[in-house]
Amino acid sequence: MTAYIFRRLLLMIPTLFAIMVLNFVIVQFAPGGPIDQVIAQMQGLNTDATARVSGTNSGDTAQSSGDSTSRGARGVDPELIERLERQFGFDKPLHERFIQMLVSYATFDFGESFFKSGSVIELILDKMPVSISLGLWTTLLVYLISIPLGVRKAVRDGTPFDVWTSGVVIVGYAIPGFLFAVLLVVLFAGGSYFQWFPLRGLVSDNWAQLSLWGKAVDYAWHMVLPVTAMVVGGFASLTMLTKNSFLEEINKQYVMTAKAKGLSERAVLYGHVFRNAMLIVIAGFPSAFVSILFTGALFIEIIFSLDGLGLLGFEAALSRDYPLMFATVYIFTLLGLLLNLLGDLMYVIIDPRIDFEARAA
């Protein structure tokens, strides 16, 4: 198993390299770079980007959209353009900037943000608690709901319970998470009816003054609505996957043999069927966490004013804050690759009969 893990870790290097090359090339064709953002704000044409011209260090790698001729035609001083290009690091050839980025990222030096105060790594770490809170609690609740529900649906397949729960699952799957979030705000966060839950933030303003128990309650109180909105749209597919996995195993010969030996239904279900049926479901936990953490939280963060990684990446893309954009892509990709490896290891933990090294040989 050690050799397999080592090979997978080595494979991450070219994978990361290919993804960073692809993103770097795509950025070269994206209109409206950071220099254009600064110039537009100076001319009063763009209020979205914060025009803070920061010095560039080893992690500031990007491209300069547009050229001096087009900017000169807009009445921009060429000397100002040259100064901005030096400050943003665009005075160097593309290949030098890309190589410099790779060398810096290898040591997790992501440089300074173009339009936000502070280093990129500090900004990312500052937003991490929000995204991890949403991703972790949502994933845990999705599994805690979907697995028992899927097992019960498989055992009672075709019964009224199976029919009406399937209806609930379909409705939950059909409603977008952000739309359900708006409904929760209207109903329970002071929108039109009740004001039982807070509308914004991860914790209250006086969180530091609360006791340990008070901090835990306040944190949970703020998490109820956003996590509920994400869970509703996330448990449907896992519930059906669990049900279908159990149905497939229940109809196999070893289950009939166990029942013929006089074992109870519970002993057969959880002593024999569960491990085989849950292999793909439980081993997929890391991948599910990555999916929820990186792709499912943007609208939820916006609706509930949660300043997390999704919103940070979205703002970086809008303002063409290239150090933030490339750093988030790099970190998300690396974390995704590591969690996928963890998912493979969970297959072996759940079912020791699986041997990746033997398959690779």
Residues of the chain with pLDDT under 70: 32, 37, 41-77, 80, 84-89, 91, 191-192, 283-284, 286-288, 290-296, 350-361
Distance of CA 352 to the CA centre of its chain: 30
- List the structure tokens of 289: 């966490």
Q: Which of 360, 212, 250, 229 is nearest to 297 (CA)?
A: 229
CA distances from 360 to 1, 5, 7, 150, 342 (A): 11, 12, 10, 33, 17
The Cα–Cα gap between 311 and 300 comes to 9
pLDDT (0 to 100) of residue 356: 64
| pLDDT score for 87 | 64
CB of 316 within 8 A of CB of 328? yes
Whose CA is closest to 42, among 83, 97, 89, 92? Answer: 83
Q: What is the pLDDT of residue 41?
A: 66
Q: What is the C-alpha to C-alpha distance for residues 224 and 157, in angstroms, rounded to an integer?
A: 32
H helix runs in 107-211, sequence order? 120-155, 160-174, 177-188
Number of CB atoms found within 10 A of residue 330's CB: 20
How does pLDDT run across 206-240, given as a tens digit for each residue? 877 888 888 888 888 888 888 888 888 777 778 88
pLDDT at 75: 57
Give yes or no for a contact between 63 and 101, defined as CB atoms under 8 angstroms apart. Answer: no
Half-sphere exposure of 229 (CA within 13 A, CB side): 28
Are the C-beta atoms of residues 124 and 308 closer than 8 Å to each other? no
Cβ contact 211:219 at 8 Å: no
Place of tokens 């070219």: 14
With 0-12 / 13-18 / 19 or more C-beta atoms within 10 angstroms meaning exposed / middle / buried, residue 110 is buried
Q: Which of 119, 136, 113, 128 lies closest to 61 in space, CA to CA?
A: 113
In the chain, the N- to C-terminal Cα span, in Å, equals 12
* Residue pointed to by tokens 């290891």: 345
Q: Which contacts (CB < 8 Å, 24+ apart) does range 240-244 have?
A: 240/150, 240/169, 241/146, 241/150, 241/280, 241/281, 242/146, 242/147, 242/149, 242/150, 242/151, 242/153, 242/154, 242/277, 242/278, 242/281, 243/150, 243/151, 243/153, 243/154, 243/157, 244/154
Return d(Cα 322, Cα 110) in angstroms, integer. 10
